[in-house]
Amino acid sequence: MPTPNTASPQAKGFRRAVSELDAKQAEAIMSPRFIGRRQSLIEDARKEREKAEAASAASSEPGDLLEAAVSKEKDGKAMLNLLFTLRGAKTSSLSRAVKAFETFEAQIHHLETRPAQRPRAGGPHLEYFVRCEVPSADLPALLSSVRRVAEDVRGAGENKGEWAGRGRQARRGCQEASPARPLCRQGFSDQVYRQRRKLIAEIAFQYKHGDPIPRVEYTAEEIATWKEVYTTLKSLYVTHACREHLEAFQLLERFSGYREDSIPQLEDVSRFLKERTGFQLRPVAGLLSARDFLASLAFRVFQLCTCSPRDCCHELLGHVPMLADRTFAQFSQDIGLASLGASDEEIEKLSTLYWFTVEFGLCKQNGEVKAYGAGLLSSYGELLHSLSEEPEIRAFDPDAAAVQPYQDQTYQSVYFVSESFSDAKDKLRNYASRIQRPFSVKFDPYTLAIDVLDSPHAIRRSLEGVQDELHTLAHALSAIG
């Protein structure tokens, strides 16, 4: 149910606020160029899902299934990766499926069951994953036999595409932006501008995770643009930004080179964040896939693009201050953890959740509505609009936000307001607990890796760490008492 817009008393109607500005400022605010960064993960996630669905449909043909299921062939042997469901829940159904592999002398390397990613009404709720080695000549006959006793037979690929990895190698593997994606559309016909963007993008392409982020010498024109945006937005933060953003912004000005006449260096900002919340910055040269971007959040790595002045302002003025708050940093990481092992459909929903929270979220503080989304905090026009009387303000509900239509060409017509960051975090965790995936995960802050909780042994090992922490806290409480 929509809630009334309880923005601060000083917030005015959007059109009235714009009318009180001079002509140059008003034109800038109403121009799409001044609207914060519009690189939406949602459209990317939707395309990934549609592509996967098309590939799955195509794999119903024998030749396509072979291509999708075989990961490598050598010396007359093929490595086969299959996912399938069984027509019945009886043990005999599984026995018949295994018999098909035995008939063709397949050497099974791995066999496991998992919750079905696409369960059908009244159908099986488990699917089977098999990795096996089989003579290449027997592949067509084997697949035909499996299809006679199983349903939804499809190739899984060597890594099944739904697991983002567990450690440092995974962080390296998901951070390369696709060269086929446009680096920047702004100023595309300006050769000088394009050359400058290419130079900055090259730094990101060459960067290796864990190395110091190279320093950039910004031009006078870039600094002038930064100054205009910096001073304009800062004047609005006092009345429109949430408390956490204001506090972090002051610290960034004191310790990380935030000021109107100088663009902060990413290495200085990354060190500041790591000391505050454990998050690190990782420069990229363009757009990432939605799955890869969300996965990096699980490792407390924020991948940012500064190839254009607009992107630079969005990342440094919108995202960075919020990532310096512990509760919000945990909220961001929780979205990333929820994405690991999720289906393409769930990735699309999580991307939409990210859009309406991390990018365009509102929260209540001291009876007023404040902005915490980076898309708002880096756009003077949308920051005014979001707290005016024009948009519809709804209470944050992850199930509703995950399917809410979004707007990436102009200002949002709907925003979601949270009671607090802690409340939003609890609701997100409840939502994530209902995502069907074959395992649960936990971030290990000591190894900076993801622990997969898929066995009693793994869970016991994780509980031991929790018990150690509880013992330390209990000892501290007794010492105080």
Residue 240 annotated as binding site = no
- For residue 408, give every residue at least 6 positions away whose Cβ sits within 8 Å of its Cβ, in sequence order, or none: 38, 40, 42, 43
User: Residue ranges per domain, the chain?
Assistant: 2-49+164-432, 61-155, 440-480
Residue 469 annotated as binding site = no
Nearest residue to 70 (alpha-carbon basis) of 154, 183, 7: 154
Mean pLDDT of the residues in the chain: 81
pLDDT digits (tens, 9 = 90+) for 261-292: 999 999 999 999 999 999 999 998 776 788 88
The whole-model pTM stands at 0.70
Q: What distances in angstroms separate CA 339 from CA 278, 318, 332, 415, one per listed residue?
A: 20, 23, 11, 23
What average pLDDT does this structure show over 149-166? 61
**pLDDT (0 to 100) of residue 168:** 42
CATH superfamily of 2-49+164-432: Aromatic amino acid hydroxylase (1.10.800.10)
When the candidates are 3.90.180.10, 3.40.710.10, 3.40.190.290, 3.30.70.260, the CATH number that belongs to 61-155 is 3.30.70.260
pLDDT digits (tens, 9 = 90+) for 99-132: 888 888 888 888 877 766 655 555 555 788 888 8
CA–CA distance, 359 with 40 (Å, rounded to integer): 9
Q: What distances in angstroms separate CA 361 from CA 398, 406, 412, 415, 473, one per listed residue?
A: 12, 13, 11, 7, 34
**pLDDT above 60 for 169:** no
Band of the pLDDT at 295, cuts 50, 70, 90?
very high
* pLDDT above 70 coverage of the chain, percent: 75
pLDDT digits (tens, 9 = 90+) for 408-444: 778 999 999 999 988 999 999 999 999 988 788 899 8
| Structure-block tokens of residue 126 | 């488990």
Residue 475 annotated as binding site = no
Catalytic residues: 314, 319, 359, 378
CA–CA distance, 129 with 147 (Å, rounded to integer): 14
What distance lies between CA 417 and its chain's CA centroid? 20
pLDDT digits (tens, 9 = 90+) for 310-354: 899 999 999 999 999 999 999 999 999 999 988 889 999 999 999
